Structure 1
Amino acid sequence: MDKQRHQVIIADDHPILLKGLHEFLADLGLEVIGAFYNGKDALDAIVDSQPPLAILDLEMPEMTGLEVAADCKKLGLKTRVILLTLHKELKFYQQAKELNISGYILKEFALNDLRKAIDTVLSGQEFFSEKLFEGLKKEDCLSDHSLTPSELKILRLIADGHSTKEIAEQLFISERTVDKHRSNIISKLNLEKKHNSLLIWAQNNKDNLY
């Protein structure tokens, strides 16, 4: 069996988390050939040994996990990177995808995800925590449709069951303006122009509007 296949470099600026990660990986049969508290030392070790896998904290002193991954990509290294993070924001996930990062795991679910992630990544595939996508649903649900703040406000009021007249009174605008906003929202959400189609959509997606 190829011993190098099981070599890994890890980095996290929290000593207890780093120690726990080291022990967890050892229990899985991986050989941790370097454990570091900052991104720069981790990058230097990755460049020197070029292991098949590096598991890095997203936020670290000197260099973040994303910055380490960016340099690995720039240098053409074959080391696959798994990021451990507390961040569920879309922007971090998008940056990870742009850098061809192989894995993105939320720390709160790391024990459940890490074993599967390592097997998946070492087999040449990608692994992203399912919980990450649950966290993104609220943001994704509306960001793709480019709703304005005014349209989103009106959509929330529709979801709460307010009529056009009530919305106009609350926002101090005319009913005609509300109707125009409703029409724009229907168009952006690609809804059928049927009676109550917007109300039904808003109520079905109410939890994603806040």
Structure 2
Amino acid sequence: MNIVIAEDQGMLRGALGMLLGMEEDMEVVGQAEDGEQALRMVRTLTPDLCLLDIEMPRMTGLEVAETLRKEGHPCKIVILTTFSRTGYFQRAMQAGVSGYLLKDAPIEELAAALRTVMAGKRAISPELSVSLWEKTNPLSERERSVLSLLADGKSVNEIAGTLYLSGGTVRNYISEILQKLDAKNRIDAVAIATGNGWLD
């Protein structure tokens, strides 16, 4: 299988490339240091599989995965991350990724997981608890939009103007958000949602 690796930490990227390249049935055809470069490589090199870090400059791994899915690209996507946040995991699943693996797994486990993915199955790190599947984002799409604008420092009136809502409706959304997240105030709500990866 031909693989593109996208990882912004040079040492880890090089180590992964070398170790996976030693597997008889794997060839690393490209290594990207940010999301935009990864997207270009996948489009140009058409690998069988792309191994994506989540947090990268320019585009996150999740944004790359979502873009490739919208384009209908056949490349299989595996997320390799240190983050077990619920929101990240859910977005990855919605983007149609085939694997969600933790970086500290032994290379043998990683190689086995990639073979599982190439066989048409999904591979999820066993360390990722079942709670990741069960714990869902309590916020609606509109509530996420309101909270994202709050996180950007927008006032109620500015949010109302942006989303074509009345100020009263925005305040109702904020009240609902605080209740759902059990947050003390707006700043607390932003922190809770961000920490769980629930903000777009």
* Residue in 2 that maps onto 1:123: 119
TM-align CA RMSD: 1.9
Amino acid at match of 1:92: Y
* Residue in 2 that maps onto 1:161: none
Do structure 1's residue 102 and structure 2's residue 91 form an aligned pair? no
* Residue in 2 that maps onto 1:91: 87
Q: How does 1:36-185 map to 2 (within 5 A)?
A: 36-133=32-129, 136=131, 140=134, 143=135
1:8–1:53 contact (8 Å) kept in structure 2:
yes
Q: Whose Rg is larger?
A: 1
* Residue in 1 that maps onto 2:7: 12
Task: Work out the CA distance in 2 between the residues paired with 1:113 and 1:66.
Answer: 22
Structure 1 residues not aligned, in runs of 5+: 1-5, 147-210
1:32 alignment partner, SS class: strand
Moved over 3 A (4+): none
In terms of fraction of residues, the more helix-rich structure is 1
* Residue in 2 that maps onto 1:34: 30
1:11–1:38 contact (8 Å) kept in structure 2:
yes
2:52 alignment partner, SS class: strand
Map Cα deviations across residues 93-124 of structure 1 (whole Å, 9 max, x no partner): 11111011000001122535311211101111
What is the TM-score normalised by the length of structure 1? 0.61
Map Cα deviations across residues 140-180 of structure 1 (whole Å, 9 max, x no partner): 4xx57x9xxxxxxxxxxxxxxxxxxxxxxxxxxxxxxxxxx
* Residue in 2 that maps onto 1:171: none
1:105–1:113 contact (8 Å) kept in structure 2:
no
Aligned residues: 136
Shift in alpha-carbon separation, 1:105–1:31, aligned structure 2, 3 A: same
2:32–2:41 contact (8 Å) kept in structure 1:
no
1:113–1:129 contact (8 Å) kept in structure 2:
no
Q: Which has the higher contact order (CA 8 A, sep 6+)?
A: 2
What is the TM-score normalised by the length of structure 2? 0.64
Structure 2 residues not aligned, in runs of 5+: 139-200
Amino acid at match of 1:25: L
